[in-house]
Chain A
Amino acid sequence: MAILIQFAIGLIFGLGLIVSGMSNPAKVLNFLDVGGIPAGTWDASLAFVMAGAVAVTFIGFNRVLKLARPFFAERFYVPTRTDIDARIVAGPAIFGIGWGLAGFCPGPALTALGFGSASAFIFVAAMFAGMVLARFIAQLPSSARFVTPADPLET
């Protein structure tokens, strides 16, 4: 049952990506192109995606996190870290460059697989390779001196 619900949640998320226009890299790049503002080619739509998503999530999280526990789990897994280390800047900086090059972030790239384009498959394969590499490097003993030896994926 929980598995089916998670599939349905993935469907809702993916539908949101398509309806909002996030699944179109051209639209994402036109949003990131602030240099296009003077020429009038800037597409501000994605600011509205963020606004809609954050508004609903902010209200929803406030209500849900007041519950004793999730419906299909023992407890809530909410990130607890508050420290600002080098990785919380370096990681997003690297990710942002990749995002600006192709117009894909992870969610839309995965949804793009369902569009059946070869480009999406190439991007997603490289993306998984990058993810594996990052998790591997984060676990090396030598990097433990520089980074917090916590789960590298913990937000």
Chain B
Amino acid sequence: MIATPFTPIASLLGGALIGLAAVLLMWARGRIAGVSGIAARLLPPYEDREFAGRLAFIAGLIAVPVLVRLATGSLPAQTIAAGTPVLIVAGLLTGFGSVWGSGCTSGHGVCGLSRLSVRSLVATITFMAAGMATVFVMRHWS
């Protein structure tokens, strides 16, 4: 386990930027900024004509680190401790569960809670609890 510093100011600020993006997407396109929903709809079946816009949003997400590195010459710390088998299982569960439950941290946790949606509150409490339980088992049960 790698210790990480407590960063309340940066995290609050970064969170506000995420919120700003969610508000802007609602203002511009009338859509919920739920990353799992946007990403899942990049693959078929296609139900509407929003493909290009979704691809542009995801491209923006991916382009940020590249631009940050160009602008500042470095990137903040990113430590991925999981090995390949864990990454594959985790990726499958994350992708399946976020679509099965109609959203992830952004769609339910940010946009849903902000709309005072009870479904999103149930979802957010559930994935927080499941994530905490999983880390507890992985770190403290061996």
| A97 lies within 8 A of B134 (CB) | yes
Contact with A along B107-126 (1 / 0, CB 8 A): 11111111101111011101
Selected contact of A130 from candidates B24, B64, B91, B127, CB within 8 Å: B91
Q: Which residues of A contact B106 (CB under 8 A)?
A: 13, 105-107
For the complex, what is the distance from the CA of A36 to the CA of B82, rounded to whole Å?
19
Contact with B along A101-140 (1 / 0, CB 8 A): 1111111011111111101101111111111111100110
Q: Which residues of B contact A64 (CB under 8 A)?
A: 23, 26-27
For the complex, what is the distance from the CA of A111 to the CA of B104, rounded to whole Å?
15
Q: Which residue of B lies closest to A60 (CB)?
A: B23
Residues of chain A whose beta carbon lies under 8 Å from any beta carbon of chain B:
2-27, 29-30, 32-36, 41, 43-46, 48-58, 60-61, 64-65, 67, 69-79, 81-84, 87-107, 109-117, 119-120, 122-135, 138-139, 151-155
A-B contact pairs, 26 of them (CB 8 A): A2-B53, A10-B56, A15-B68, A16-B15, A16-B19, A20-B12, A26-B79, A29-B1, A43-B5, A48-B8, A52-B18, A64-B26, A75-B30, A97-B97, A98-B89, A105-B94, A107-B106, A110-B35, A122-B91, A128-B95, A130-B95, A131-B43, A131-B96, A133-B95, A155-B32, A155-B111
Residues of chain B whose beta carbon lies under 8 Å from any beta carbon of chain A:
1-8, 10-37, 39-41, 43, 45, 47, 52-54, 56-68, 75-82, 84, 86-115, 117-120, 122-124, 126-136, 138-140
Cβ-closest 5 pairs across A and B: A10-B60, A91-B101, A20-B14, A96-B130, A52-B15
